[in-house]
Structure 1
Amino acid sequence: MLRAMLRDLRAHKGRIAMTLVAIVLGVTFVVATLVISDSTAASFTGAGTRSDVDLAVRGPEEQPILTRADVDRLAGVPGVTGATGVLVARAAVVGTDGKIIPGRHATAGTGWDDTGRFALTEGRAPARGEAALSRSAASEAGLTPGDEARILLPGGRETRVVVAGTFDYRTLGVESVPEVAFAASAAGELLGDSYTRVELAAAPGTQVSAAVRQLTTAPGLTVSTGEELAAEARDEADSAARSTRESLLAFVAVALLVAMFVIANTFTMLVTQRVRQFALLRAVGASRRQVRRTVLLEAAALGFAGATVGVVAGVALGLLGMWAFTPADEPVTYAVSPLAVGIGYAVGIGVTAVAAWGASRRAAAVPPIAALRLDATSGGPGHRGGRVRAVAGAVLLLVGVLAVALLSGEGLSTTERVLCLAAGVVGWLGVLLLAPLLAAVVLRPVARLAGRRGGPVARLATRGAVRDPRRTAATSSALLVGLALVCAFATLGETMVSMSGAAVRTTVPADATILRSASGDDPLGADVLDRARATPGVDRVAADRYTLVGITHAGGTGRTSVSAIEPAGFTGVLTPRIVEGSGDLRRGVVVGTNEAAMLGVGLGDEVAFEFPGAPPVRQEIVGMIDTIEGQPLFYLDVDRAPAALRDRVTTVYAMGDARAALDAAFLHRPDVAVTDREGVLAEGIAEFQLLLSVMYAMFGAAIVIAVFGVINTLALSVIERSREVGVLRAVGATRRLVRRTVRLESIVICGYGGVLGIVVGLLFGAVMQHVMLGNPLFEFGAPMLVVVISLAGMVLVGVLSAMWPARRAAKTDVLTAVRAD
């Protein structure tokens, strides 16, 4: 049986080529994802971390609350051989265009020292009037040692320095990587005279931790050992790698699911074409178990071959991806773990074997008598299996629809949202199981219409697609999955863009001038608020201080977003839509309706916000407003927020006829962007559309695999129907007509999968936006552009997929095709 299996694989190399491609692509994406995540973790921990610090005393969130006196006091602890104060404050390199360079690190500056923080890559350490730049900052700004650099300092001040050198930075635990390092003698004047941490070195064999902790009892200060800081760095690296891995594997799982459709369909067709062979094996004594095992061994061998190629390609793709997306001036550590290789082989062999299981059962069910029939077809489940599948699909679809209907509504809790989304997935599975029945229901009327109105090409193509609805469904289901996901996320995106526009236009007045950070998420200084307030023509000002904090409520704990804002500005400048209660922040906090439903809180309930380095802030919920994803979920009176947050202004809203005056006031502030409501909306939409484009590209991998599946199915179908094609040629069909028939059949199959995928995608997208955004179920935004492109794309896919099978069919030799086996 083993020799028979290997002989069959060699004999059907061409028939399994596209299946091998599907396996290779699936394994490639899995291994590449694991290589990228492993390399990401290794790059974080392998280079740029320090191990030369025994203890570190730090303030909360790198706040500069330690003084020179603290450094001197810690240096006097018995056993401490050195104490170095480290200052990290806001600073950024200004480019030739007058804007802050788009650095990859924090807009932060520090003072140069002789600890292990800096590794010179070019030039020398800075003297007074000079500065060293990180390699990435120097590269982005186009600066080299000897050039003059313009540096933005805290409070909007500026200084000009000569670039003395460039450096790589070695982190201690989790900290901001500065772009600028000034001479130690000048850092205090430029950045401030307080420190964010103090690094301590201890004499060998001494224990100074207890004594240091006794001296650092101020609120918010923490003492960490070198081992603890190293563990923090490792945890951060592992978290980044895990986040990358989980994000990519979600798309890889879709690609593998599509590959399973392709593999299962291929093996089903191969079993159908080899019924007489299996019957002969049964006739000469092979048991059902042996036949089933033969097919599974074929699948395992094919999976092994595909996994071997896929592992090599995946390693190459992962390393290439790390090289391409890591800046040239940043160190990268490439890592290929044995686990990644093992998972690649396990996925390749396992997915192929699972996909071929149904075909192996049908092969085992072939009776020996089938060897005597020229028109033998596979036995096994047959119509009974189709009925079971149809009933199961109908049940799943009905359960999914009913569950979504029962769970949908306003004010869904977290559990209800998860269940509603799961119900949508169940309904989707029901549609996949019903796909053969739907193919027959949808395509048979099309075939009858083509028979009456169409020409011979249309009649032959539609009849070919209808002849085996299960095969048509299996082929198109691969396209259905990929296209449905594209349309679902496009629906979510379209709805979110629409809701964002409505929410921002409702909350922010049209005549408000908005000041934001020009460097992304970095906060503005309190001086920006003061200057905006003093600008002529400004009537009223509100400042938003957005942050993520821990929250404790009656139902448990978690994380949420909070905006600390002036009570007068919340209702006097902004115009939130109060759904319930009051908007008076002097009485308590205001929460978004969706967040309140997810947390299970309401008016009168108490919540406690846990800010870093500060005691919990306990507040009563006094009002509820409409919010969407991306907006603050809680609004808090700024006077009740910790002092450190009050100066971390993220957005300033200025009312009055003062746009020109504000532009002039902040003309020489490269860290401040002056815009309006529509500008903020356009920026947010552009960022979200970029994210969606990346997702579409990732789902494109699944669609590519599905295209290979269509090619494979058509090619095997041409082989299976060679006698039919020969008869057509014998009665006068031209090669051109044969090619057009195969091409149109491919378009019908792809069109069926495309239309069904679009419908399923829109409906599942409606469920997603209802669950994630809290929008009514059927008030979603339809992504018409994506729908039109998808329909046109399916026609194009149908044409391209049929090119090789159509040529092969047209070249069929008439006499060879019509002769009996």
Structure 2
Amino acid sequence: MLRGLVAHRARLLLSGVAVVAGVAFIAGTLIFSATLDRSFDRAFDDLGRGTDVIVRTDRAFEPGLGERASERPVPAPVLAAVRKVPGVEKAHGVVTGFAAVVDRHGRIAGSEPQTGVAWDGDPDLSLPRLTSGAPPTAPDEIAVDVTTAKDAGYRVGDRVTVALAAGTRTFRLTGLFEVGDSALSDQLSMTAFAPDAAPRLLSDHPGTYARIVVHADDGVTQEQLKDAVAAALPPGVEAITGEQAVDEQAEPVSDVLKAIRTFLLMFAVIAMFVGSFIIFNTFAMLVSGRVRELALLRAVGASRAQVTRSVLGEASGVGLVGSTLGLLAGVGVAAGLARVLGVLLGGEDLPFGTLVVPSSAVIASYAVGTLVTLTAAFVPARRAARTPPVAALREGTATPRPLRGRLLSGGGALAVGGALAGAGLAGSGNSGLTLVGAGAMTLFIGVVVASPALSGPAIRLLGWPLFCGGTTPHTPWKSLCARFGGTAGRMGGRNALRDPRRTAATASALTIGLALIAAVSVLVQSMASSVDRQLDAGLTADYQITGRSQLTPVTAEAAGAVAKVDGVRAAIPIRTARFRLDGSVESAAAGTPGELLGHFRLPLQQGTPSAHGDDLLVGHSVAAARSWKVGTAIAGQYQDGTKRTFRIAGIFADHPSVTPSAPSMIIDWAGYRAHDPDAPIDRIEVDATGVGRAALEKALSPWPNLELKDRAQVKADAAGSIDLFLKLVLGLLVLSVLVAALGIVNTLALAVTERTREIGMLRALGMQRRQLRRMIRYEAVVVSLFGAALGVGTGVVLGIVLQRAMAAGDGGMEVLAIPYGRLAVCVAAAAVIGVAAAVWPAHRAARLNVLRAIATE
């Protein structure tokens, strides 16, 4: 085994590279995830440092990640009561709100979220640490974090414009500070105001606090202090430990990080799966090229088990070396992922910090790399063990095995896959989608299994310009083909036909990668076309006013200012109401029910639009899914903990696939605001006739944190989000295509070694080096085009099947759109890959010594 590794090290090199590529992405994903986990853990530790107990108003449920949840303020007398509790060393009322620094060009500077706080220099209760200047003490003074000040180009002493929820104001910058010690601190944008001025500037309820943070005396645990503080609190106010508060903040972030890790690992597994074809092909070719050597070992006494172990030993050597190098390369992949994702998410660096290599990355690298290599080499190893000793006396190569079994198996899988997909399309709901998914996977397997039987006809068709000049009488077509391919072209095409199994295995890696790219392209293009149609039909407003990010607040004052512009018929704030129904948290639009129904063109089917108090209007699709009718009563709870029985007052006709921006539930704002008076506004929908954009922008000038979008911009934003997703997915799938290109290089290099004597004979008979290089290039191009045609064709079929299933399942993807241009680029790229992959093997073949090549056995 050891001598085999040394003797065939050049042949095994590219298989090792395939292992390195797959393992590097797996290790890089785990390192990337572990580093992000550690960065956020440190950030949340920063947030909880010195805070042993937090006092806040009761909440029935927590907001989700990225939601602008409102918090009922804590009355000021509670702070005085908390300070008197035994075990409390310090207690501080937190005043916070929206505040964003505006740069000299009128743009919002810094990262999201943009937060305003009251300055507190106590290191036990406050994150900011002054680095230069002085803290703000006067009403017109502020301090800003170092990163935001640098981004805006401000220095201590400058006049700074700050956007507040109520509009913009100008302050003098007195100091700069850092926020915590973690890598996440560079991602926070914070503005600190003088303690006396902050409540008036940041809060709608002066004389109250967002929460109270408490620091314990020495020797008092968080649980002990929580119990003592809770006993002194009035109804509606609760105390939680600092650890519990950190866990609540970390949970949604942790869920997102897990989703990112799963998403990236999926592509790593695809790359490793593609690499397994290369490993299989490599060992299959090595075994077929060593028939006489293996037979001679059997003849001198080697058992089948020994031959199997020797080949598997070589595979384990490749797996171990590839896993080690892949683990090392994974460190670079992790750093690259952080950079790429940062660019895709708006050009900002992720809070990455120092790389962390977890034990899971090491274990997974060696386990996956070695096991995949051994699994891929198992069949060639068993085939080697079955080599009879008499084969040592034979000349030539083994007789190719028939492809009837492959054709029957592949045809059967295609038939089963088609039946499953058809049954899924005829069905509905999750069961239908499951059947379609199973059918698509079975179809894919059938194509891969049957590909050796398909390779002959497909290559003859794709390589027609190479074959058409060979045997027919002289015709203009033959003359053209001869000039195009010539003898070298015909030989290259026939080389691709020699071993259909090898050709199919070589092309399969490319087939898988391009099939996934084609399927994703069809789905995403269909999604984009469907969304475009939905927005054309469903946009009910002439303009939308939104925050510049999901966390930027939209104020009712801005709606009032826009409503006063001449020509504006209505400026409707779309508020998000959140409450619990039947144990699950639901969202609804809070406003005037009749106005919202008219604005979103939602005709009432049953009941009345006059919903008051705890009444709800719901869409027909929601009512049908939950068996609700007019008059149905549902037990529920508001955000403030108040329990109520909600009643269905009316059911309206909703079409989520036609009007995606329309709400599925509506509740009266007049009744809801008693429980959540600070419910956030998602956007302002503006109905206007003959109103110029300039007039609306002038009305919004006090709020630079808001964006005005017309219909075209709303559509462009939706298209941009879809395009970003497509770029991310295709960028990750390109890795599998690059691994497939290595497979073509590897196969051609091994083929050159196998045909050493044949190449020597061709050179002796007069073939020029240039012709030899062309022959190998033609073979690579034909194999690549076969893989591309099979992959793109399969991917388009799978994409169409999945699109139809989603359209039938009311998934909002009713338009089928096939990106012909992108698919043509994929096929052309496959031809380029073939040419590039043939460079080194062709160069190596052309440099062979003729006499030594002829003498090779």
- TM-score (ref. length: structure 2): 0.86
Identity of aligned residues (%): 30
Aligned partner of residue 48 in structure 2, secondary structure: coil
Q: CA deviation at 1:235?
A: 4.2
Residues in 2 aligned to 1:760 and 1:559: alpha-carbon distance in whole angstroms: 42
Q: Aligned runs of 1:323-722 on 2, under 5 Å?
A: 332-377=353-398, 382-383=401-402, 386-408=403-425, 412-445=428-461, 450=468, 451=470, 452=472, 453=478, 454-455=481-482, 456-509=487-540, 512-546=542-576, 562-575=588-601, 586=611, 588-591=616-619, 593=621, 612-614=639-641, 615=643, 618=646, 620=648, 622-628=651-657, 631=661, 634-639=664-669, 641=672, 643-644=675-676, 647-657=679-689, 658-660=691-693, 661-722=695-756
2:100 alignment partner, one of 92, 115, 125? 92
Residue type at the aligned position of 1:408: L
Question: Quick one: structure 1 residues 218 and 758, their matched pair in 2 at CA, closer, same or farther if it must change by over 3 Å?
Answer: farther
State the Cα deviation string for residues 76-128 of structure 1 (Å, max 9, x = none): 33433322111221111112221222x33312211111224223344443322
Residue type at the aligned position of 1:731: L
Q: CA deviation at 1:447?
A: 5.8
Residues in 2 aligned to 1:811 and 1:725: alpha-carbon distance in whole angstroms: 11
User: Is 1:37 aligned to residue 33 of structure 2?
Assistant: yes
Question: Quick one: structure 1 residues 470 and 608, their matched pair in 2 at CA, closer, same or farther if it must change by over 3 Å?
Answer: farther
Aligned partner of residue 377 in structure 1, secondary structure: coil
Aligned partner of residue 105 in structure 2, secondary structure: coil
Q: CA deviation at 1:708?
A: 0.7
1:763 alignment partner, one of 787, 797, 808? 797
Aligned partner of residue 352 in structure 1, secondary structure: helix
8 Å CA contact 2:406–2:452 kept in 1: the answer is no
User: Is 1:104 aligned to residue 124 of structure 2?
Assistant: no
Residues in 1 aligned to 2:100 and 2:27: alpha-carbon distance in whole angstroms: 39
8 Å CA contact 1:407–1:416 kept in 2: the answer is yes
2:161 alignment partner, one of 141, 150, 155? 150
Residue type at the aligned position of 1:190: L
User: Is 1:806 aligned to residue 849 of structure 2?
Assistant: no
Aligned partner of residue 209 in structure 2, secondary structure: coil
Q: Aligned runs of 1:51-90 on 2, under 5 Å?
A: 51-59=49-57, 60=59, 61=69, 63-90=71-98
Q: Aligned runs of 1:11-410 on 2, under 5 Å?
A: 11-47=7-43, 48-59=46-57, 60=59, 61=69, 63-101=71-109, 103-113=110-120, 114=122, 115-128=125-138, 129-169=140-180, 179-192=190-203, 193=206, 194-205=208-219, 207-216=224-233, 218-219=235-236, 221-232=237-248, 235=251, 238-319=254-335, 322=338, 332-377=353-398, 382-383=401-402, 386-408=403-425
Q: CA deviation at 1:561?
A: 5.7
Residue type at the aligned position of 2:135: A
Residue type at the aligned position of 2:212: V
Residues in 2 aligned to 1:91 and 1:744: alpha-carbon distance in whole angstroms: 64
Residue type at the aligned position of 2:558: V
Question: Quick one: structure 1 residues 667 and 154, their matched pair in 2 at CA, closer, same or farther if it must change by over 3 Å?
Answer: closer
Residues in 2 aligned to 1:225 and 1:659: alpha-carbon distance in whole angstroms: 53
Q: CA deviation at 1:528?
A: 1.8
Residues in 2 aligned to 1:596 and 1:746: alpha-carbon distance in whole angstroms: 59
Aligned partner of residue 568 in structure 2, secondary structure: coil
Q: CA deviation at 1:580?
A: 7.8
8 Å CA contact 2:132–2:176 kept in 1: the answer is yes
User: How many pairs were matched up?
Assistant: 800
Q: CA deviation at 1:403?
A: 1.5
Residues in 2 aligned to 1:565 and 1:143: alpha-carbon distance in whole angstroms: 41
Structure 1 regions of 5+ residues with no counterpart? none
2:830 alignment partner, one of 783, 788, 794? 794
Q: CA deviation at 1:432?
A: 1.6
8 Å CA contact 2:39–2:351 kept in 1: the answer is no
Residue type at the aligned position of 1:100: I
Q: CA deviation at 1:732?
A: 2.8
Q: CA deviation at 1:787?
A: 0.9
Farther-moved stretch of structure 1 (296-305 vs 627-636): 627-636
State the Cα deviation string for residues 617-663 of structure 1 (Å, max 9, x = none): 84547234232597466232343645537742222222122234322
Residues in 1 aligned to 2:91 and 2:310: alpha-carbon distance in whole angstroms: 72
Question: Quick one: structure 1 residues 320 and 652, their matched pair in 2 at CA, closer, same or farther if it must change by over 3 Å?
Answer: closer
Residue type at the aligned position of 2:773: R
Question: Quick one: structure 1 residues 630 and 203, their matched pair in 2 at CA, closer, same or farther if it must change by over 3 Å?
Answer: farther
Question: Quick one: structure 1 residues 609 and 779, their matched pair in 2 at CA, closer, same or farther if it must change by over 3 Å?
Answer: farther
Farther-moved stretch of structure 1 (208-217 vs 303-312): 208-217
8 Å CA contact 2:780–2:834 kept in 1: the answer is yes
Identify the residue that residue 748 of structure 1 maps to in structure 2.
782
Farther-moved stretch of structure 1 (119-128 vs 26-35): 119-128
Question: Quick one: structure 1 residues 606 and 795, their matched pair in 2 at CA, closer, same or farther if it must change by over 3 Å?
Answer: farther
Farther-moved stretch of structure 1 (617-626 vs 492-501): 617-626
Q: CA deviation at 1:264?
A: 1.0
Question: Quick one: structure 1 residues 163 and 433, their matched pair in 2 at CA, closer, same or farther if it must change by over 3 Å?
Answer: farther
Residues in 1 aligned to 2:589 and 2:177: alpha-carbon distance in whole angstroms: 38
Residues in 2 aligned to 1:282 and 1:569: alpha-carbon distance in whole angstroms: 87
State the Cα deviation string for residues 276-308 of structure 1 (Å, max 9, x = none): 111111112222121111111111111111111
Aligned partner of residue 462 in structure 1, secondary structure: helix
8 Å CA contact 1:545–1:646 kept in 2: the answer is no
Aligned partner of residue 431 in structure 1, secondary structure: helix
State the Cα deviation string for residues 695-745 of structure 1 (Å, max 9, x = none): 211111111111111111111112212233333333332222221121111
Aligned partner of residue 184 in structure 1, secondary structure: coil
8 Å CA contact 2:323–2:370 kept in 1: the answer is yes
Farther-moved stretch of structure 1 (530-539 vs 511-520): 511-520
Question: Quick one: structure 1 residues 619 and 11, their matched pair in 2 at CA, closer, same or farther if it must change by over 3 Å?
Answer: farther
Residues in 1 aligned to 2:437 and 2:291: alpha-carbon distance in whole angstroms: 43
8 Å CA contact 2:565–2:699 kept in 1: the answer is yes
- TM-score (ref. length: structure 1): 0.89
Question: Quick one: structure 1 residues 746 and 331, their matched pair in 2 at CA, closer, same or farther if it must change by over 3 Å?
Answer: closer
Residues in 2 aligned to 1:208 and 1:168: alpha-carbon distance in whole angstroms: 27
Question: Quick one: structure 1 residues 567 and 778, their matched pair in 2 at CA, closer, same or farther if it must change by over 3 Å?
Answer: closer
Residues in 1 aligned to 2:634 and 2:749: alpha-carbon distance in whole angstroms: 64
Residue type at the aligned position of 1:67: P
